[in-house]
Structure 1
Amino acid sequence: MTWYNRSVGVQGEVYDYTSSAGSTTAKFVFFQSDVELSSLTQTRTSSGGSVSFNFLVEGPSGGINGVQVWLCHSGDCFIADEVTKPI
């Protein structure tokens, strides 16, 4: 994650080990304080192999200051990471 004034840049890769058993999705949920900015949620999905991503999410006035990264495979999801903007 790269933090900017109001926005955040997200770069990485999601990998799915087997295409025959569904897909793997990385879901990015953005926050301002403790408020989820649901309209900004992003997903990236791989169905066998690797999918790279690099995107910028523009935040509202006051900016984005937290991101939850979820990983989902075949309907099972968990929080893989929670990142907070450094002060």
Structure 2
Amino acid sequence: MNYRIIPVTAFSQNCSLIWCEQTRLAALVDPGGDAEKIKQEVDDSGLTLMQILLTHGHLDTLAQRRNWRNITACRFLARKRR
């Protein structure tokens, strides 16, 4: 399993790209910021994005959910509201 930290905003917010070296299947964790730019970084790495993991409900990640749905067919995983 590999990972890379990707800065996503000017406010030192980051998302994580994690992937399997053998299968090249990947997931993003909390991808706020510019969805197109992050997706390009995934594509440039030769990875196939399978999942987006949302660990919290901050505005930077929730605001980009619709953009991610428009540019990828991957699954979103998040915890249920309490």
Considering the TM-score relative to the shorter chain, is it more than 0.5?
Answer: no
Of Structure 1 and Structure 2, the greater strand share is in: 1
Q: TM-score, normalised by structure 1?
A: 0.27
Of Structure 1 and Structure 2, the greater helix share is in: 2
User: Which has the greater radius of gyration?
Assistant: 1
